[in-house]
Amino acid sequence: DTGVSQDPRHKITKRGQNVTFRCDPISEHNRLYWYRQTLGQGPEFLTYFQNEAQLEKSRLLSDRFSAERPKGSFSTLEIQRTEQGDSAMYLCASSLEGTLGAFFGQGTRLTVV
Amino acid sequence: GESVGLHLPTLSVQEGDNSIINCAYSNSASDYFIWYKQESGKGPQFIIDIRSNMDKRQGQRVTVLLNKTVKHLSLQIAATQPGDSAVYFCAENPYNFNKFYFGSGTKLNVKP
């Protein structure tokens, strides 16, 4: 499968715990996006990387959230001190600079109990 | 923030009929739009896109129409099949290609 890959697919955690998600983009894509989706809503932009540089962050990305893309390939999204309001689907997408279209992974479903 | 809204939250059609899903966008500067299909528990799947210098684009069984005058986008699905049942989102890309704004989606139910 050469699409965007996310791991894990599902994560259940207790409130206050830290969680980390991983995204592997399509191999030649240099742009990577993180989105969050709650039930019945469309995805909301969180942050965006071009290669290893994080170029934009949404105000939705509180201080408890941090994203990295250290080598310009895979990316991680960490949530510290999780809260119940963090429960959502976290989606990763990638695209190639100069081309149109962004392709999404299957997402990581986070449930904070 | 940007607003990409949809006219109908749920659309039910008979198998074999054509479906039309509508979307209104708010930013006249948007120059690129994508329609995504999302099945339950899965990520959004790219269906078709259109740039603002076009008013129509056709794919396999799908057509996207763009009316910039009234900032309206539609997705037409020909001969709707049960496998088309999903939530459909339009996504708007203003200013640049760095991020997309999504609406809340339209759920398409295809009745056999």
**Alpha-carbon distances, residue A31 vs A2, A49, B31, B87, B107 (angstroms):** 16, 6, 19, 25, 29
* Mutation site, B98, B101, B102, B104, interface A, largest A CB count within 10 A: B98
> pLDDT tens digit string along A39-58?
888 999 999 999 999 988 88
Per-residue pLDDT at B82: 95
**Mean pLDDT rounded to a whole number for chain A:** 93
Q: How many CB atoms lie within 10 A of CB B89?
A: 27
> pLDDT tens digit string along A87-111?
999 999 999 887 777 899 999 999 9
The tokens for B49 are: 């896109």
**Alpha-carbon distance B83 to B67, whole Å?**
28
Q: What angle do CA A46, A52, A54 make, to 5 degrees?
A: 30
**Alpha-carbon distance A8 to B71, whole Å?**
38
Question: Which residues in chain B have Cβ-Cβ distances shorter than 8 Å to A107?
Answer: 42-43
Question: Which residues in chain B have Cβ-Cβ distances shorter than 8 Å to A40?
Answer: 104-105
Q: Are B21 and B74 in contact (CB under 8 A)?
A: yes
Torsion over CA: B46, A35, B72, A100 (sign): negative
Look at B99 and A56 and tell me if their CB atoms are within 8 Å.
yes
> pLDDT tens digit string along B52-86?
999 999 999 999 999 999 999 999 999 999 999 99
DSSP A62: -
pLDDT > 60? residue B8:
no
